[in-house]
């Protein structure tokens, strides 16, 4: 019931950032190989570990890229929302991957306290500086997308972790080159691991909220329901649900009881406009029903 209105087409928030993600993926993958080769040549465990960390970035960036590519495919009669949720699944996988990397970094750092490896400072410094430049480029490419897409935010956090890893390797290389103090590497490793963990938890929690279809944290469902109930012609509201399909795409459904004599089209339009303009919920399915409608007496 209600006047004709069009739902805006659903566009994945991450889709428009596919090109920067592809460039970041290519740069990171190429330099990961360089770090592995040099690390084994100079027998540098620190550089090999950093290359392994970049390897997780390559995997994470690859999953993010695949998710965006699949999400852009046309919807079907069975997949009415297309592949948008793949971005959230990729973000969750990235979060789990980041937890594993942080745990590995902390474990390795503890091991090195008891048996610090001998690492040549100069080759480590040169390669780490170039790696930092690569990470800075990737970090800059992903900054804009990380503000709009949870999937890209996961990739962004991975690059941030690797960027900090490069900084840590540079600091360790300078200390090793100038003083030969072997404990610089494990101390910096602990710092990197502790930095990654809280950001990883935040990302994973966001992805789980979406998958569990919990209402967006910035929206108060009770308040929104009360505002809808105060609209002209609305007698009551029940079964109001708001959830996130993927980053930047909120959906809502609900039942609105219409007062006797009120125009159903006007009521529907006012509810849809309230959700869209005030709360940026552009995909709303609202059922208007009379006060004596049986389901209205048994709200869920």
Q: Where are the domains of the chain?
A: 15-211, 221-297
Query: What per-residue confidence (pLDDT) applies to 265?
Result: 93
Query: What per-residue confidence (pLDDT) applies to 16?
Result: 63
Query: What per-residue confidence (pLDDT) applies to 3?
Result: 42
Query: What per-residue confidence (pLDDT) applies to 252?
Result: 95
Query: What per-residue confidence (pLDDT) applies to 229?
Result: 95
* Domain 221-297, CATH number (from 3.20.20.70, 3.40.50.2300, 2.40.30.10, 3.30.70.1350): 3.30.70.1350
CB of 101 closer than 8 Å to CB of 161? yes
CA distance 135 to 114: 30
For 258-289, what is the HEC assignment? Answer: ECCCCCHHHHHHHHHHHHHHHHCCCEEEEEEE
In DSSP notation, 219-266 reads --HHHHHHHHHTSTTEEEEEEEEEEEEETTEEEEEEEEEEPTT--HHH
Q: Is the dihedral of CA 59, 64, 65, 66 positive or negative?
A: positive
Other beta carbons within 10 angstroms of residue 297's beta carbon come to 10
Q: Output the CA torsion 209→212→215→221 (10° steps).
A: -140
Query: What per-residue confidence (pLDDT) applies to 294?
Result: 60
Query: What per-residue confidence (pLDDT) applies to 9?
Result: 43
- CATH number 1.20.1510.10 is the correct assignment for the domain at 15-211: yes
CB of 15 closer than 8 Å to CB of 71? yes
CA distance 264 to 286: 11
Residue ranges, the chain, pLDDT below 50:
1-13, 296-300
CB of 101 closer than 8 Å to CB of 54? no
**Could you identify the residue written with the tokens 């890893």?**
165
Q: For residue range 139-160, list pLDDT tens digits in order.
A: 888 887 777 776 677 778 778 8
Full-model pTM = 0.70
CA distance 206 to 217: 9
CA angle 166, 170, 172 (to 5 degrees): 115
What is the distance, to the nearest Å, from the Cα of residue 259 to the centroid of all Cα atoms in its chain?
43
How distant, in Å, are the alpha carbons of 48, 105, 112 from that of 115? Answer: 17, 15, 5
Query: What per-residue confidence (pLDDT) applies to 291?
Result: 81
Which candidate, 94, 31, 110, places its Cα nearest to that of 62? 94
Q: Output the CA torsion 194→96→55→102 (10° steps).
A: 20
């Amino acid at each position: 019931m209600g006047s004709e209105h069009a739902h805006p087409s659903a566009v994945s928030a991450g889709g428009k950032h596919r090109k920067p993600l592809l460039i970041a993926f290519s740069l990171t993958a190429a330099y990961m190989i360089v770090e592995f080769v040099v690390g084994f040549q100079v027998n540098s465990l620190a550089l090999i570990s950093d290359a392994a960390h970049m390897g997780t970035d390559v995997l994470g960036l690859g999953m993010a890229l695949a998710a965006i590519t699949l999400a852009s495919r046309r919807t079907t009669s069975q997949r009415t929302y297309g592949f948008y949720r793949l971005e959230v699944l990729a973000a969750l996988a990235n979060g789990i991957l980041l937890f594993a990397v942080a745990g590995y970094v902390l474990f390795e750092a503890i091991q090195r306290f008891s048996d610090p490896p001998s690492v040549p400072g100069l080759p480590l410094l040169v390669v780490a500086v170039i790696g930092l430049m690569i990470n800075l480029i990737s970090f800059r490419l992903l900054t804009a997308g990380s503000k709009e897409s949870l999937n890209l935010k996961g990739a962004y956090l991975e690059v941030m972790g690797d960027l900090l890893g490069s900084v840590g390797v540079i600091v360790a290389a300078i200390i090793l080159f100038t003083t030969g103090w072997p404990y610089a590497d494990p101390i910096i490793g602990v710092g990197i691991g502790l930095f990654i963990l809280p950001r990883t938890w935040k990302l994973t929690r966001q992805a789980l909220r979406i998958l569990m279809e919990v209402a967006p944290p910035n929206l108060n469902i009770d308040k929104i329901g009360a505002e809808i109930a105060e609209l002209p012609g609305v007698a009551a509201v029940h079964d109001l649900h708001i959830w996130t399909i993927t980053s930047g795409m909120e959906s809502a459904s609900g039942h609105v009881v219409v007062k006797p004599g009120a125009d159903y089209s006007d009521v529907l339009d006012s509810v849809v406009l309230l959700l869209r303009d005030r709360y940026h919920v552009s995909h709303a399915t609202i059922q208007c029903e009379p006060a004596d409608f049986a389901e209205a007496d048994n709200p869920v």
